[in-house]
Amino acid sequence: MFVIGLMSGTSADGVDAALVDLQGAPPSLQWKLLGHIHHPYLPDIQAEVLACARAEIGDIPGLCRINFALGEVFAEAALEIIQFCGLKAEQVDLIGSHGQTVWHIPTGEHASTLQIGEAAVIAERTGITTIHNFRTRDMAAGGQGAPLTSYTDVLMFSHPTRVRVCQNIGGIANLTFLPPAGQPQYQPLALDTGPGNMLLDDAVRRISSGTENCDRDGLRAARGRVHASLLGDWLRNEPYFVLRPPKTTGRELFTRAYGERLWQQAQQRGLSDDDFVATLTALTALTIADAYHNFLPLMPEEIIVSGGGALNPTLMDMLRDELVPARLIPSDELGLPSEAKEAAAFALLAYETWHNRPASLPSATGARHPSVLGSITPGRNWNKMEYR
């Protein structure tokens, strides 16, 4: 089957689209990435998305409007990847759309999650049956609805003898622990470690008055010096970092106000702009490394890195120093470009849903049982599809 995966993460900078050829079934599932693109949000769309994720300025009409507007953007991304791969829409079987998370409450009496990007619009514009709303079924079963990519990490990157971790660094950083197939006493484990690029991007936007969106190539962090005392305060004062898994987080915790508070603390201590960025980069590296030491049953031999953070050499150097002797491997070296990994994961999740196979890992999300994920919105190809 040809399946498109669509993903927009907590950075809310656009849609990653991947087209994957999927055949067979686990544990012998075969996959081939046919192509991937990044379809950026226009500035006004990004601003509306970020506004929806700010509880203090909640706007119900705005949320309603942007849900449909993002459906159009996701549909455009799907059509773009089809053209990029030299195919026609009629040749594609499914779309798996993660959507855009605007709020996530992983635990407690009001545990819930909301991803927008109207699937009916995607199916209507493309004609392709669309599977969406993946997280809610796992949460209904008592899980945290994340990290869902742990299922695909297990299928794509487990090794028969080596201990591996898949480390994604998007807006939020998350890991999947992959025990060797020959050691059944260990189970896969996944969790969000804390901020990935989210606080870094916020800091650079503040420093540059909005003219820069990220610390490109880690140049600011490389010029700066880490303020050890302030970093220690940040690590001690955030309860999430020591919370035991299963655990997930996002923009609902690491808010714009959170970034403002860290900025004010840096100003009070006289940090330069580059020192502030360097210290935030160290925060991402240390919270990732601490999660390995505190929560994993075995330290990895290989760490497969993906997401925008994998393109930040300064962050990668810091992470490498914290996790020696583990070898950091870009997912590109294993056939899946880091920018495409999460989009490809949602293509695989859609494929599993279509075949009526559970695609959640209770050991990762905390759910009571595995679940078949997602909701199905038929496209014009519906009558031609053979439901398995």
Q: What is the pLDDT of residues 33-69, one digit of tens each?
A: 999 999 999 989 988 988 887 777 778 898 999 999 9
Looking at residue 386, its pLDDT comes to 66
Can you read off the two tokens belonging to residue 79? 């059509």
Span 250-255, mean pLDDT? 88
| 161 has a pLDDT exceeding 60 | yes
**Least confident range of 158-162, 248-252, 295-299:** 248-252
CA 66 – CA 71 distance, rounded (Å): 8
CA 169 – CA 190 distance, rounded (Å): 13
Can you read off the two tokens belonging to residue 35? 């192509």
Can you read off the two tokens belonging to residue 201? 């991007």
CB 341 within 8 A of CB 168: yes
Span 11-15, mean pLDDT? 88
Query: In 3D, which of 370, 336, 366 has the Cα closest to residue 106?
Result: 366
| 195 has a pLDDT exceeding 90 | yes
Query: What's the whole-model pTM score?
Result: 0.91
CA 110 – CA 305 distance, rounded (Å): 33
CA 37 – CA 98 distance, rounded (Å): 16
Distance of CA 19 to the CA centre of its chain: 17
List Cα–Cα distances, 246 to 45, 190, 233, in angstroms: 32, 7, 24
Span 120-147, mean pLDDT? 96
Can you read off the two tokens belonging to residue 158? 């487990």
What rounded mean pLDDT belongs to the chain? Answer: 94
Domains, in order of start, for the chain: 2-143+346-358+368-384 (3.30.420.40), 149-334 (3.30.420.40)
**Distance linking the first and last C-alpha atoms of the chain:** 12
Q: How confident is the model at residue 183 (pLDDT cuts 50, 70, 90)?
A: confident
In the block, which residue shows the tokens 């302030």?
A: 230
Distance of CA 24 to the CA centre of its chain: 26
| 388 has a pLDDT exceeding 60 | no
CA 220 – CA 202 distance, rounded (Å): 14
Query: In 3D, which of 308, 211, 374 has the Cα closest to residue 12?
Result: 308
List Cα–Cα distances, 206 to 135, 203, 264, 276, in angstroms: 32, 5, 11, 11
Looking at residue 238, its pLDDT comes to 98
Q: Residue 261 is which amino acid?
A: R
Query: In 3D, which of 1, 8, 71, 4 has the Cα closest to residue 39?
Result: 8
Looking at residue 387, its pLDDT comes to 56
- Please, which residues bridge with residue 30 across strands? 23
Q: What's the DSSP call for residue 299?
A: -
Collapse the DSSP code of 191 into the 3-class scheme (helix H, G, I; strand E, B; otherwise coil) and give the result: strand
CA 37 – CA 19 distance, rounded (Å): 9
